[in-house]
Structure 1
Amino acid sequence: MGNPAGGSAVTLPKLHVAVLMGGWANERPVSLMSGEGVAKALEARGHQVTRIDMDRQVAARIAEAAPDVVFNALHGVPGEDGTVQGMLDLMGVPYTHSGLATSVIAIDKELTKQALVPHGIPMPGGRIVECEELYERDPLARPYVLKPVNEGSSVGVAIVTADGNYGNPIRRDVPGPWQEFDRLLAEPYIRGRELTVAVIDGAEGPRALTVTELVPKSGFYDFDAKYTDGMTEHVCPANIPERIAELCMGYAVKAHQVLGCKGTSRTDFRWDDERGEDGLFVLETNTQPGMTPLSLVPEQARYCGMSYEDLVEAIVAEALRGAAKGAGADG
């Protein structure tokens, strides 16, 4: 898979950027790392930066800072689900990444399926289950995956196998996402390989960067594997057939467009390499991918010749382009 031509660096005037990070979601530590990386990159380029660790007074703190634009480095609820986006829309403050409607849909795995599958994007089947049901019977044939409907970073994901230690049926007293959530999404388990594609918006529209394969040393790409140095090998670009790479990148751009993503997104895949093209499935599209030193979007950008600072400024530039159009964050 060849190296796509790197995008030319944008030229920004010196700005006052409020970097919104932290919050109280499960992904708070990741958000703090993302936000600090973004803040340092912007300062290195001569921009004024106000760091805001989100709390219940966040609107007042943003109003007091009066930035030119907000870089939304939050992950999870309420920074990624439309709540913060709606607040910033009401305040009339430009912000990075996707707008309200896109965020509401993309963070909900079931709504995402309803949006993407009719457009020819392959996703696993499955259904929403009440957790009480799990204590009586399996919702699907084993092996299957249980995941929260609106969490990211593999938070609360459980793979239920025939010989697993959750019990059969699942026992109430066994730790798992059923103890934290009332409802979960059950999907068939797809054997094979974990792939991901970053998409970045530019003046000429969205483009996919490349495909990365994630090879966790623990056997499962969970939260710890994602954010602990040395726990996962990133093969960038992935050593996969050219046709599979083309499909991944095409599906990622299409998901970005159908959902109405802005700035950047990352679409995750499972590929059963024994089934060829028929074994490729989109799992989800992340509207606010991580920007930590271990994160996948900066890594793919580097492969394409774009520095971390260039990437951050490109995301800010897209937010300002959207604001200049006057079309709203989802326009």
Structure 2
Amino acid sequence: MKIAVLYGGTSGEREVSLSTGKGIIEALEKNGHEVTGIDFHPERLDEILKLEVDLVFIGLHGRFGEDGRIQGLLDMIGLPYVGSGVLASALAMDKSRAKQIFKQAGIPIAQSNAYAVDQYETLNEMEVDIKENFTLPFVIKPNQEGSTLGLTIVREWSQVADALKNAADSDDVILVEDYISGKEVTVPVIGLKGKEQALPIIEIIPKGDHYDFASKYEPGGSEHIVPARVSDRLTEEIQQFAVHAHQALGCDVYSRVDFILTEEDVPVILEVNTLPGMTPTSLFPDSASKIGWSYDEMIERFVELTMTRK
């Protein structure tokens, strides 16, 4: 088929997307497809509008890629694409609204509040409100951002001001939530709607204090244990939660669902990634390899599922 791959973009995750795009393009070419790569920019939409392809594979992360906007454009011009549609993408990107949906679905969440920057005259006013409603430690992060960009684990009150500024640089809504300590795990989900399956759970052991940007994308930044070292009962429970979260948001074809497993063995959901990284150090390919799928085979499965969906 003729397949266009969108990668790069303008978000804070651009460098990650460049690597994702490279991997996807190489896999598609090895699988025999005719591939057009586009380093996406919202000021060059004519590159999208002029496309004459059978399918678009979105390798973008963050704003203008993972938030439903590019999906809306592709829907309007009638180009099929791999992955979730507009609504599911937008909901997954909006962490505050996604958490409300997870709660309704019976999936454990961390308690949180969303703060709109324009509703406060200064960040100092927001800081006062946060100090009245949260106890240390807690997390401050942008409501719509990925790869832990703009995230701070606040362990001292003196950190709050800088943490708010850091988050506000990425988004006009700031999410503050209880800090949940425990084991970080993630679950890839794949399949057509109503027929999704969870792949092996990945346990993540960051080399630093927590799973930050460097831990995710720098070689040796974290260790991935597949399958995760949890009981069979917990494995089934976490995988079920992952599929339910995917379905609750209306995701399609594939996603990756992140959890913290508390010391009491409660899986607390963090977020659903509708366009998870596909770099050499990414998690989804690690899990897929555990059940015998090569990277190229995994990418082809995404394509096949999408064309089956048409």
TM-score when scaled to structure 2?
A: 0.92
Deviation at 1:59, TM superposition (A): 3.5
Q: Does 1:148 align with 2:138?
A: no
Kindly report which structure 2 residues correspond to 1:59-208, keeping only aligned pairs within 5 A, or say none: 59-129=45-115, 130=117, 131-136=123-128, 138=131, 139-161=133-155, 164=156, 167=158, 170-171=160-161, 176-202=166-192, 205-208=195-198
Is contact 1:59-1:87 (8 Å) kept? Answer: no
Q: 1:66 to 1:59 in 2, by over 3 A?
A: farther
Counterpart of 1:176, as a letter, is N
Is contact 1:19-1:70 (8 Å) kept? Answer: yes
User: CA separation in 2, counterparts of 1:270 and 1:115?
Assistant: 18
Is contact 1:212-1:234 (8 Å) kept? Answer: yes
Q: Pick which of 147-156 and 312-321 moved more.
A: 312-321
Which of 201, 212, 216 matches 1:226? 216
Q: Does 1:293 align with 2:283?
A: no
Is contact 1:202-1:314 (8 Å) kept? Answer: no
Q: Which has the higher contact order (CA 8 A, sep 6+)?
A: 1
Deviation at 1:178, TM superposition (A): 4.3
> 1:100-141 CA distances to partner (integer Å, 9 max, x unpaired)?
011111100111012221111111111113544344352411
Corresponding residue for residue 318 of structure 1: 305
User: CA separation in 1, counterparts of 2:269 and 2:28?
Assistant: 33
> 1:216-263 CA distances to partner (integer Å, 9 max, x unpaired)?
111110111100010101111111122221111000011111111112
Aligned with 1:167: secondary structure?
A: helix
> 1:15-71 CA distances to partner (integer Å, 9 max, x unpaired)?
000000001000011111111100000100111000000023544213433110000
User: CA separation in 2, counterparts of 1:45 and 1:214?
Assistant: 30
Corresponding residue for residue 203 of structure 2: 213
Q: 1:176 to 1:62 in 2, by over 3 A?
A: closer
Is contact 2:164-2:174 (8 Å) kept? Answer: no
Gapped regions of structure 2 (runs ≥ 5): 118-122
User: CA separation in 2, counterparts of 1:237 and 1:305?
Assistant: 13
Corresponding residue for residue 229 of structure 2: 239
Identity, % of aligned pairs? 39
User: CA separation in 1, counterparts of 2:36 and 2:163?
Assistant: 45
Decide which structure has greater helix share. Answer: 2
Q: Pick which of 70-79 and 118-127 moved more.
A: 118-127
Counterpart of 2:70, as a letter, is V
Corresponding residue for residue 120 of structure 2: none
Aligned with 1:176: secondary structure?
A: helix
| Alpha-carbon RMSD | 1.9
Is contact 1:96-1:263 (8 Å) kept? Answer: yes
User: CA separation in 1, counterparts of 2:301 and 2:163?
Assistant: 48
Which of 20, 23, 30 matches 1:44? 30
Corresponding residue for residue 12 of structure 1: none
Aligned with 2:107: secondary structure?
A: coil
Q: Does 1:23 align with 2:9?
A: yes
Aligned with 2:277: secondary structure?
A: coil
Q: Pick which of 313-322 and 187-196 moved more.
A: 313-322
Aligned with 1:65: secondary structure?
A: coil
Deviation at 1:308, TM superposition (A): 0.8
Q: 1:53 to 1:173 in 2, by over 3 A?
A: closer
